[in-house]
Amino acid sequence: MQLGTFSISLTVKDIKVSKSFYETLGFSVFHGDLNQNWLIMKNGNSTIGLFQGMFEKNILTFNPGWDENASPLESFTDVRDLQKALKKKNIKIESEADENTSGPASLILIDPDGNPILIDQHV
């Protein structure tokens, strides 16, 4: 099962403090808007999202259809096909993608320890 490129979305208390901390670790801003309290930061192939006031828990994020630089891939497994495969394996889907659509869509599942996993397709 190819889930797509991986990142972690961190819920942060103070986005400016977190930005500075991760810059010290070698990350730089790749995308986002500090005034809207969200940033995507990269260090090589590692990607983190910083989000202030947008959700309660850190989220493991996979992006089908994108490479690690958010460039579209020629070939990938659509989120709706991933959802069907997960259901066949009896994985509970918390928030489903509409299987009657195409293009951008997402689904959310929760791992056994309560960690949210977002599979978020943008293409």
Interval 76-94: pLDDT, tens: 999 999 999 999 999 999 9
User: What are the CB-based long-range contacts (under 8 Å, 24+) for 18-26?
Assistant: 18/50, 18/52, 19/50, 22/48, 22/50
- Residue 15 to residues 52, 75, 94, Cα–Cα distance (Å): 6, 35, 28
Give the SS3 label for residue 34: helix
Interval 27-78: pLDDT, tens: 999 999 999 999 999 999 999 999 999 999 999 999 999 999 999 999 999 9
- Joined together, the tokens standing for residue 44 give 């090589």
The full set of domain ranges for the chain reads 5-121
Beta bridge partners of 33: 38
Q: How far apart are CA 108 and CA 91, in angstroms?
A: 11
Interval 99-112: pLDDT, tens: 999 999 999 999 99
Q: What is the pLDDT of residue 1?
A: 86
Q: What is the pLDDT of residue 11?
A: 97
The CATH homologous superfamily to which domain 5-121 belongs is 2,3-Dihydroxybiphenyl 1,2-Dioxygenase, domain 1 (3.10.180.10)
Average pLDDT, the chain: 96
pTM: 0.91
pLDDT at 115 over 90: yes
